[in-house]
Amino acid sequence: MEARNEYRKGLWTEEEDRILMEYIRVHGKGKWNRIAKMAGLKRCGKSCRLRWINYLSPSVKRGDFSEEEEDLIIRLHNLIGNRWSLIAGRVPGRTDNQVKNHWNTHLSKKLGIKKENAKGNASLPSLSRKLGKNTSVPMESNSEPPSDCSCETGGKTMVEDGSQSTFKFASTQEITENNNFGSSLWFSNDDLNLLTPYLMEPLDGYSLDFVLDGL
DNA sequence: AAGCGATCCAACCGCAAAATT
DNA sequence: AAATTTTGCGGTTGGATCGCT
C-alpha cells in the first residue's frame, strides 16, 4: 500500500542520486521497493530502478549516438520492431529508454517515419507477442557483442517488397529516401519467414539468433 | 530582451509476466 | 494453488532548453 503523496516525483536531485548510489554500493541492486524504504528515499521502487538503470549505472554510455550505433538500431528495429529493450540489449551501453528516445526524436525523423499511434503500430505485432515481453538482456550482461558481429554502416536493410511474403533489401539511405515504410507492414504476418536464413542477411553478421540470444 | 512554439529527454504510467509468500 | 509483490516493458507526458521572430 502506498499512501498518497508518500513519494516524490519529477527530476532527481543530486542528493537523491547520492543516496541511491550509496545504498546500491553497499547493498547491491534489486529489491527496489526495499531500497526506497531503507535508504530513506522518498521515491517509489520503480523510480529508483529506472533512475539506476537509465542514469546512474556505470554501464550506461552517455553522449551522442555514433553512426554505427544508429545504423545498428535502424537495422534491429527493422527486424524486430519496437522491442526497445531487446534492441538496447544489442547496443552496448545504451538503455531501452535511450534507444527509444533516440528513435522517436532522431531516427524516425531521419528515416521520414511518421509517429503513429503505437497501439496500432503494425511492426511485427505477432512476433512481438511470440517473443513475449520478458526479452530483455540485463545491461551488465551485454556489454560486448559477439566477436563475429560487425557494425559497419552501409549495410542492407530489409523492407517489404509489396507482396505478402517477399522482401527486398534496401540500404539505410534508401529507406531514408523512402518516406512511406513506416506506414506499411515491414514483415509478413507469417513469422516463420523470420526464421529463414535469407532474412538474417540484413544484419551483416547479426542473426535473429543473436538478437534473441539470452531470451 | 521577451515571447513563444518546437524539440528533446528524463521520468511517469499502466499493464503483464515472473517471483515470492 | 492462489494471492500478493516485484520486476520489466513500451507508450506517453511534462518540463527544461533551444531557436526563431
Which cell is A122 given?
A: 503494425
A175 CB closer than 7 A to any strand C atom: no
Sheet strands (E) in A2-153: none
Task: Round to whole Å and give the CA distance between A56 and A103.
Answer: 22
Residues A18-34: what's their mean pLDDT? Answer: 88
Higher pLDDT, A115 or A20: A20
A97 CB closer than 7 A to any strand C atom: yes
What's the pLDDT at A165? Answer: 32
What's the pLDDT at A107? Answer: 87
Q: Over chain A, what is the mean pLDDT?
A: 65
A118 CB closer than 7 A to any strand B atom: no
Residues 35-54 of A with CB under 7 A from strand B: 43, 46-47, 50-51, 54
Exposure of A20 by Cβ count < 10 A (0-12 exposed, 13-18 middle, 19+ buried)?
A: buried
Which cell is A150 given?
A: 560487425
- Of all residues in chain A, the percent with pLDDT exceeding 70 is 50
pLDDT (tens digit per residue) in A105-117 = 988 877 776 554 4
Asked if A143 contacts A92 with a C-beta cutoff of 8 angstroms, the reply is yes
On chain C, which bases lie within 7 A of the protein's CB atoms?
Answer: 5-12, 15-16
A85 CB closer than 7 A to any strand B atom: no
What's the pLDDT at A135? Answer: 37
Least Cα distance to A84 among A66, A104, A64, A65 occurs for A104
What's the pLDDT at A5? Answer: 57
pLDDT at position A49 over 90: yes
Which cell is A137 given?
A: 538482456
Distance, CA of A50 to C1' of B11, in Å: 8
Closest CA to the C1' of B9: that residue is A101
On chain B, which bases lie within 7 A of the protein's CB atoms?
Answer: 7-14, 16-18
- pTM score: 0.66
What's the pLDDT at A63? Answer: 87
Distance, CA of A80 to C1' of C3, in Å: 35
Task: Round to whole Å and give the CA distance between A186 and A169.
Answer: 12
A121 CB closer than 7 A to any strand C atom: yes
